[in-house]
Amino acid sequence: MKHYFFINPKAGQGKGIDKLIEEIETTAAELQQEAIIYLTKSVEDGIIKARETAESLNGEPARFYACGGDGTNNEIINGAADFPNIALGCVPIGTGNDMVRNFPEAGDFLFIKSQMLGEVKRIDLMKYKGRLNGEMREGYCVNMFNIGLDCDVVALTNVLKKKPFIAGSFAYLLAVGGMFLRKKPIHMQLWEDDKLMVDGEVLLVAIANGGYCGGGMNTSPQSCMNDGVFDLNIIKNVSHAAFLKLFPKYKAGTHLQVPGIEKVITTKQSKALTMVPKQKDFNICIDGEIYAAEGQIEYSMAEGALQFIVPAKL
C-alpha cells in the first residue's frame, strides 16, 4: 500500500521538518512500504494536491497523512474524504492539534511507525455550505465550528503566535484575556428545521464533532466523533463577571456539572442547522481557520464519512 505524507513546512514554525522526513523514509524502508512526501506550497494547496492524488489512484487503496496543525488536517480531509479507497491520518506537528485529543485510546500520533501500522476507524464529519470569503463554498469540518467570542479568540491567537516566545495554548489563554476585556456579542438567527432556536445576541456558538479547541480546552466534553450527531453549545450574552467565573471550568470540561449552568449555556444534539448572520463582520472559524460569512450558512452531518487512522500502540 502507498502512504502519502502531506507536510505543511510552516507548521510548528517549521521546526523538525527535516527530522520528520527522515523518520518517514526510515520507517517506510523498515516496513517495506512505499512513502511519497509532498510539501504544501500555500493555503489550500493541500486540498488540491490531495484530491489530484486521490483521483490518480483510480480506486487503489492508499493512506494519506496530514502533517501539520488542525488547518492542514482539514485541507487533506476536504481533498480526499469523498474517496472510499483513502484512509486519512493526522501527524500533529502544528500548535493547536485539537482533533487528535479526541482519541485517548490511540498510540503516539507523532510516531510514524504507529501511524503506518494504525487501524482504520469510521468517524463522522460535519458539512457546511454558504458564502464565505466572498464566494460560495461547501466542505467538511472534522472537529469544530466556532462563532463569536471563540472565533475572535482564534483570530487574536494567530496574531500572538507570531510573537517571540508565545505559542500554543499560552497564546490562546492570552487571547481569551484580551477578548474578555472587550467582550462583544454576536447577533444572529439559528434554525433547526423550521424551529427558530436563537434570534438575538449571544456570546458564542460552537458546533462540535470533537470536544477540544484552543490547544486543549475541553469546551464540548459531551461530544463523540462517531455518534452521528454534532453538539450545539451556545453561551448566552452573560456579564464579564459570570464569564470569568465560568471560564476555568469551561477550559477543563467540567462546566456542564455546574448547578444552574442551563441559565448560561444551552446544549443540544443535532443533525442539521441553518445560521443567519444579522450583522456585518460575521466570522466563522472552521477547524481553526477563519472565514468571513455573508448570508445563511447550512450545517449538516455526514455520518461515518471519514476513514480515520488511529495510531497503533507500540
**CATH code for the domain of 7:** 3.40.50.10330
Bridge-based pairing state of the strands 86-92 and 135-141? unpaired
170 shares a domain with 25: no
149 shares a domain with 287: yes
Q: What integer is the mean pLDDT of 50-75?
A: 97
Residue where one domain finishes, among candidates 94, 118, 149: 94
Any domain includes 106: no
Q: What integer is the mean pLDDT of 165-188?
A: 69
Tens of pLDDT along 237-292?
888 788 878 888 988 999 999 999 999 999 999 999 999 999 988 999 999 899 99
265 shares a domain with 140: yes
Residue where one domain finishes, among candidates 94, 112, 143: 94
Q: How far apart are CA 70 and CA 266, in angstroms?
A: 26
196 shares a domain with 245: yes
Any domain includes 84: yes
196 shares a domain with 73: no
Tens of pLDDT along 103-132?
999 999 999 999 999 999 999 999 999 999
Any domain includes 312: no
Q: What is the Rg, in whole angstroms, of the alpha carbon atoms belonging to the chain?
A: 19
140 shares a domain with 70: no
Which pLDDT band, with edges at 50, 70 and 90, does 172 fall under?
low
Query: In this predicted structure, what is the pLDDT of residue 245?
Result: 85
Q: Which amino acid is at 36?
A: I
Query: In this predicted structure, what is the pLDDT of residue 154?
Result: 72
Any domain includes 292: yes
Phi, psi (degrees; rounded to nearest 5) at 222 = -80, -5
Structural domain containing residue 82: 2-94
pTM for this predicted structure: 0.92
CATH of the domain at 268: 2.60.200.40
274 shares a domain with 226: yes
Any domain includes 109: no
Query: In this predicted structure, what is the pLDDT of residue 264?
Result: 92
195 shares a domain with 139: yes
The tally of domains found in the chain comes to 2
Residue where one domain finishes, among candidates 77, 94, 111: 94
Q: How far apart are CA 62 and CA 16, in angstroms?
A: 25
Any domain includes 105: no
Q: Pick the residue with more confidence: 293 or 180? A: 293
- Residue 182 reports pLDDT greater than 80: no
194 shares a domain with 57: no
